[in-house]
Amino acid sequence: MLSNIGNSILFFNLLLSLSIIYFAFQELKRNYNFINKKIYYISLIQSTLIIICFFTLIAGFLISDFSINAVYQNSHSLKPTFYKISGTWGNHEGSLLLWVIILTIFSFLFLVTNKNHSKKYRVYTLITQNILIIGFIFFILFNSNPFDVIIPTPNEGLGLNPILQDPALAIHPPLLYLGFVGSSIYFSAAIASLLTNYSGHNFARSIKNWVLISWSFQTIGILAGSIWAYYELGWGGFWFWDPVENASLLPWFAMTALIHSLIVLEKRKQLYFWVIILCLLTFTLSVVGTFLVRSGILNSVHTFANDPSRGIYILIFLSLMIFGSLSILFKRFKSNTYNFNYNSKETFILVNNWFMIFYLFTVFLGTIYPIVTEVFYSQKISVGPPFYNTVIIPIVILFLFFMSIGPKVRWIKDNIDNLKTTLMILLGSVLINLFIFLFFKSYSLLSNLILISSIFLIISTARDAINLLKNKEYNISRIIAHFSFGLLILFIGLNYNFSSEKDFNLKVGEVKKFENFSIKFKDLNLKEFKNYKAVIGTFEIDDFKDNTKLFLSPQIRIYDNPSTLTYEASIRSGLLKDFYITMSNIDRSDYYNIKFQKKPFMVWIWISVILISLSGFLRFFKYENKIN
Amino acid sequence: MDFYDFLNMKIRLIKIFICIVILVIIGTFFLGLNKDSIYDTKGLEGSYIGNIKLDHFNKNEIISKKNFAQKGFTLINFWASWCGPCKIEHPFLIKLNNEPSLQIIGVNFKDKKENALKFLNDNGNPYDLLAKDKFGKYSINFGIYGIPESILIDENFMILKKFIGPITEKDYIFIKKIIKDS
């Protein structure tokens, strides 16, 4: 029943998209400068229906209707209600439905909010966006349909992978998708702009908000995934350079470059084609990311199911998208030379873009390299942190320095008159680093440079903030973004260098003493929960240096559906440091393997990223106000 | 050819280059789809081990193929003092140590020397030769992806069997049988 509703809506939406494209082409023949109400209505109906469709699937999960394949595969009647709902998008089919929702709603919102732009431009955007919608609905209907029916209806579902039953992961896909899929709208707009020769300035104004919104959501979405990895995967790390993490980072780099160069296009009416390329690139990379994750071509924490036919479909779609947009771009491309003064804001923004493209290229290479070796040399390799750290870290240092100086430079041409202050700030940063160095004892030269450059960025940005407040000229979002990026790198640097870790085996009643800690394995309890059993250990941790005592209780969870063991870390977060403990059982023995970690400033890493994302939202609201 | 022709040609070349790069990437993706990406070292059974390079546990020398038994079988066992399951398999290694035609080579994996020595003191030392792999680099060449893991090879360095996880009673009997049958 539910499955029929879902299928019908999807099919109907396919027809609506086709009709929008048809009417849109009709509109192009008419001379008046407004879009026929009919198109608005169809687009509105389409958005409403796709939301209803999604709720139908949620309903299927809520009432545990196991005749629906997606529900059967990913849910279980005993699962908590919250995870029944989040299970809707926690799987391949459901998440594709989320794709289509965002594509559709963004299409409608773009149509409604850009009334002061040229009709041709809006109509072409609508057409392109609906072609994308059709592509994805096709994919859902003919390859990955969440509403597929199983006959006879199974009595019980297979359950959601336990490591996905987690609050951070429940919100992670929707947030990330708002960024990922949100970028589709400026992909479409870029195509429309090329086709209609729309002026760069107006184009920049019309997509600016969309870039900001998708960028902010992408940032916060990556964070949610990172926090999940921190406490769920049990390694104590928050970024593993896993192919899938990289897949979310690639569009982020392109978006960040875009946010910056868009300013040049808006203010100085230059870099038009570069902005277009970035728009096309961002969404293309989002689809590439989806391909890498969903096809199972790479091994990662996200490869929960492999199905080559999905891969083929996405790949065909991707190729059509790339070559379609490329042929339009090549046809319209006019080479023009930019004469930027080397000491101007434009140049510095371009420098930002070079860095972003460099990061993008590095991460892309590292991500697809295992596929290349597999295909050409039949060798299975994985590219891990050493590659990324070696290539990226030295460049980050340089990047932070440019980031500190860049924003102060004026448009068109500037003079070097603030060299003295810059040197003073640099000296200050070196001194602060020296204090940290003395306080924590030694770390590598590269780490020193990372800390110095991030402190340099923090102080420079803080100084900018004071100057801007004096001039009553607020560009608070830029300041927050740069400031918190400095904080982020600083805290990652500190965390990386001063985390400590101890691995040992203990049984109940034993005490382990090392450095200034004593860890007592107090007791072990078995508790029954609704959908799992948990072995909960209680550990008493004494820190002689701070004279503090705390209790941590890591768990080993035994899930029945599907039967899996998960190891839940127990974490005590503090402003200065996190204590992190995991335990795992050792077969046929009373001993448990205990991993104890001290991780300084974890909370500040999260806070920095939240601030970065917040800066995007702030700019969005500020920009909104300016229009009205 | 004037400047603009030159510029146009350059742009055309760049366009062709971009298309080729994208085609290569998409082609690689396509070929990659048909490959099985799940890593499994079981397939190594029956293949030959290439060059061997390991650090000696005590002395400052390198262990290579020369140090391996020229006759009979060799069991290469990867272990560490911090590894719980290693404790479980240890009695079987001790028992296997009595086999005259089996050489047991231990590779101490990412371990601290004093902990490793304490482990051997407490549980006995079954190894004819002890090597160390302090950073886990050498073990990769053996296709190790976790410890304990053991590899049974013959005198020609052919891998007869890989034991992923601790050696069990069943594995112990299996190894004894292979030695007896030869």
Residues A535 and A509 grouped into a single domain? yes
- Tell me the per-residue pLDDT of A116-143, one tens digit each, with 9 for 90 and over: 899 999 999 999 999 999 999 999 998 8
Asked if B82 and B19 sit in the same domain, the reply is no
Same domain for B63 and B103?
yes
Distance CA A101, CA A54 (A): 8
**Would you call A380 an interface residue with chain B, using a CB distance cutoff of 8 Å?**
yes
Q: Say if residue B51 is in the same domain as residue B18.
A: no
The predicted pLDDT at position A360 comes to: 95
Examine residue A554 and say whether the peptide bond preceding it is cis (omega within 30 degrees of 0).
no
What contacts A200, CB < 8 A, 6 or more positions away? Answer: A265, A269, A270, A271, A272, A275
CA separation for the pair A195, A197 (Å, rounded): 6
Model confidence at A627, pLDDT cuts 50, 70, 90, reads: very low
* Same-domain check for residues A508 and A493: no
Confidence of residue B178 (pLDDT cuts 50, 70, 90): confident
pLDDT (average), residues A14-42: 90
Structure tokens at A123: 């109509």
Percentages (nearest 5) of helix, strand, coil residues in chain B = 45, 20, 35
> Looking at per-residue confidence, does B134 or A484 come out higher?
A484
Query: What pLDDT is attached to residue A179?
Result: 92
In this structure, the answer to whether residues B14 and B104 fall within a common structural domain is: no
Q: How many helices (H) and strands (E) does chain A have?
A: 18, 10
Q: Identify whether A3 is part of a domain.
A: yes
Q: Is A628 a residue whose pLDDT tops 50?
A: no
Within a domain: A475? yes
Once rounded to an integer, what is the mean pLDDT over residues A380-399?
85
Question: What is the tens place of the pLDDT at every residue in A217-262?
Answer: 999 999 998 998 887 776 778 888 888 889 999 999 999 999 999 9
Residues B26 and B103 placed together within one structural domain of the fold: no
Whether residues A507 and A433 share a domain: the answer is no
Q: Are residue A16 and residue A152 in the same domain, yes or no?
A: yes
Q: Check if B85 contacts A (Cβ < 8 Å).
A: yes
Q: Which helix (H) or strand (E) holds A568?
A: strand A563-568
Which residue among A297, A335, A591 places its CB closest to the CB of B32? A297
Hey, are the CB atoms on B35 and A375 less than 8 Å from each other? yes
> Per the domain annotation, does A415 fall within a domain?
yes
CB atoms within 10 A of CB A30: 11
Kindly state whether residue A626 falls inside one of the protein's structural domains: no
Which tens digit of pLDDT belongs to each residue from A352-364?
Answer: 999 999 999 999 9
pLDDT of residue A152: 81
Residues A101 and A8 in one domain: yes
Average pLDDT of the residues in A9-13:
94
SS3 letters across A453-481: HHHHHHHHHHHHHHHHHHCCCCCHHHHHH
Q: pLDDT by residue (tens digit) across A288-345? A: 988 888 877 776 555 545 566 788 889 999 999 999 999 999 998 887 766 777 777 8
Name the A residues in 488-517 with CB < 8 Å from any B CB: 503-505
**The pLDDT of residue A626:** 55
- Specify which residues A526 forms β-bridges with: A535
Q: Do B33 and A295 touch (CB under 8 A)?
A: yes
Q: What is the rounded distance in angstroms from the CA atom of residue A107 to the CA atom of residue A21?
A: 12
User: What Rg value do the Cα atoms of chain A yield, rounded?
Assistant: 26
Residue A546 reports pLDDT greater than 90: no
Closest residue in B to A371 (Cα–Cα): B32
> For chain A, what is the largest distance between any 2 Cα atoms, rounded to a whole number of angstroms?
84
Same domain, A15 and A157: yes
Taking CB atoms and an 8 Å cutoff, what residues of chain A touch B145?
A: none
Instruction: Answer yes or no: do B32 and B49 share one domain.
Output: no
Please state, in angstroms and rounded to a whole number, the distance separating the CA atoms of residues A525 and A535.
6
- Tally of domains in chain B: 2
Q: pLDDT band for position A379 (50/70/90)?
A: confident
Q: Is A282 helix (H, G, I), strand (E, B) or coil?
A: helix
* ipTM beyond cut 0.85: no
* Claim to verify: residue B24 and residue B51 sit in the same structural domain: no
Is B173 within 8 Å of chain A by CB?
Answer: no
Q: Do A441 and A552 fall into the same domain?
A: no
pTM over 0.90: no
- Amino acid in position A459: I
CA distance A586 to chain B (A): 6
Are residues A141 and A55 in contact, defined by beta-carbon separation less than 8 angstroms? Answer: no
Distance from CA of B113 to the nearest CA of A (A): 15
CB contact under 8 Å between B32 and A371, yes or no, is: yes
| Range from A50-59, A381-390, A431-440 that averages highest in pLDDT | A50-59
Mutate to test the interface with A, among B33, B119, B137 (most CBs of A within 10 A): B33
Residue A212 lies in a domain: no
**B83 and B64 fall within a common domain:** yes
Does the beta-carbon distance from B33 to A593 stay under 8 Å? no
Helix residue ranges per DSSP H, B97-140:
113-123
**Most confidently modeled range among A375-389, A527-541, B135-149:** A527-541
CA distance A244 to chain B (A): 15
Note the pLDDT of residue A301.
52
> Which residues make Cβ contacts (< 8 Å) with residue A111, sequence separation at least 6?
A35, A39, A40, A43, A122, A125, A126
Put simply, the answer to whether B28 touches A372 (Cβ < 8 Å) is yes
Q: pLDDT by residue (tens digit) across A57-111?
A: 999 999 988 888 888 888 888 888 888 898 888 888 898 999 999 999 999 999 9
Judge if A409 and A552 occupy the same domain. no
Same domain for B79 and B139?
yes
**Minimal-distance CA residue of chain B relative to A297:** B33
Instruction: Give yes or no: residues A558 and A589 share one domain.
Output: yes
Domain end residue (candidates: A466, A482, A498):
A498
- Do B30 and B64 share a domain, yes or no? no
Domain boundary among A165, A187, A202: A165
pLDDT at A482 over 80: yes
Residues A437 and A548 in one domain: no
CATH of the domain at B132: 3.40.30.10
Note whether A297 contacts B29, CB cutoff 8 Å.
yes
Query: What span, in angstroms and rounded, lies between the C-alpha atoms of A533 and A518?
Result: 29
Mean pLDDT of A411-425: 72
Which domain range does residue A18 map to? 1-165
Average pLDDT, chain A: 86
Answer positive or negative: Cα dihedral of A110, A114, A115, A117: negative
pLDDT at residue A506 tops 90: no
Residue ranges making up the domain that contains B31: 1-37
8 Å CB contact of B18 and A593: no
Residue A531 has pLDDT above 80, yes or no: no
Q: Same domain, yes or no, for B162 and B104?
A: yes
A470 domain-assigned: yes
Domain termination residue (choose one: A498, A533, A555): A498
Considering just the CA atoms, what is the radius of gyration of chain B in Å? 24
Contacts of B85 in chain A (CB under 8 A): 586-587
Q: Which long-range contacts (CB under 8 A, 24 or more apart) does A96-99 make?
A: A96/A136, A96/A139, A96/A140, A96/A144, A96/A146, A97/A50, A97/A53, A97/A54, A97/A57, A97/A140, A97/A146, A98/A54, A98/A173, A98/A174, A98/A177, A98/A181, A99/A136, A99/A177, A99/A181, A99/A290
- 3-state DSSP call for residue A114? coil
* A404 and A523 belong to one structural domain: no
Return the amino acid letter for A230: Y
Number of domains in chain A: 3
Q: Which residues pair with A534 in a beta bridge?
A: A527, A557
Domain assignment present for residue A514? The answer is yes
Do residues A202 and A117 make contact, with C-beta atoms less than 8 angstroms apart? yes
Cα–Cα distances (Å) from A593 to A569, A596, B81, in that order, read: 13, 10, 12
- Beta carbons of A315 and B30 less than 8 Å apart: yes
Separation CA A442–CA A434 (nearest Å): 10
Mean pLDDT of B68-77: 85
Residues 33-72, chain B: which have Cβ within 8 Å of A?
A: 33-35, 37-39
Same-domain check for residues A8 and A130: yes
Q: Note the pLDDT tens digit of each residue in A567-618.
A: 888 888 888 888 888 888 876 677 888 888 888 899 999 999 999 999 999 8
